[in-house]
Copies of this chain bind each other. A is one copy, B any other.
Amino acid sequence: MDHQRYMRRALELAAQAAEHGDVPVGCVIVRDGEIIGEGRNRREERGDATAHAELEAIRDACRRTGSWRLHGCALYVTMEPCPMCAGGIVNARLDEVRYGVRDGKAGCCGSVIDLFQEGFNHRPRVYRGPLEGECEEILQQFFRGLREPRPEEKI
């Protein structure tokens, strides 16, 4: 199914983020069945507080299409967007958001607030999933790795 294909690509990008020491979150933007933007979390890699997967993907899609208006596009992201990224989704006029795992600390699709129901000038359709389980697993694996003692500490 196509939704699964796009979320699977977002999961690949999340895995790349983890390889660079960043919390594994990945994102793709799709228009007419074609991926027109990709991003992964690069906050640590770049030392940039704004380099979340969704904003990276929005910037990429704007560059590739030559416009800041991403009408007719769907965004797939492995984790529920934070306020910055949910705001970016409003600003870019994205039609649809599909996210994997919920974020109880910063999630803006209902977990902390539902930013899209607050009366801003654009409101995307929002769906949970597909592949929620895999989106959760990649995060858990990353944080388990951070908590595990290093080999020399095990002695």
Taking Cβ atoms with an 8 Å cutoff, the residues of A that contact B are: 43-44, 46-52, 55, 58-59, 62-63, 66-70, 82-88, 90-93, 105-106, 108, 112-113, 115, 118-121
Contacts and interface: CB of A to CB of B under 8 A. Distances in A.
6 contacts: A48-B62, A48-B68, A50-B58, A83-B83, A105-B120, A106-B120
A86 B83 contact: yes
Chain A, interface SS category: loop
Contacts of A58: 49-50
A55 B62 contact: no
Contacts of A51: 68
Looking at A55, A86, A88, A115, which has the most chain B CB atoms within 10 Å of its CB? A88
A121 B105 contact: yes
A52 to B, nearest CB: 8
Nearest to A118: B113
Given A84-B84, A84-B90, A113-B118, A50 B55 contact: yes
A121 B103 CA distance: 12
Given A82-B91, A83-B120, A91-B84, A59 B48 contact: yes
A21 B32 CA distance: 31
B92 A87 contact: no
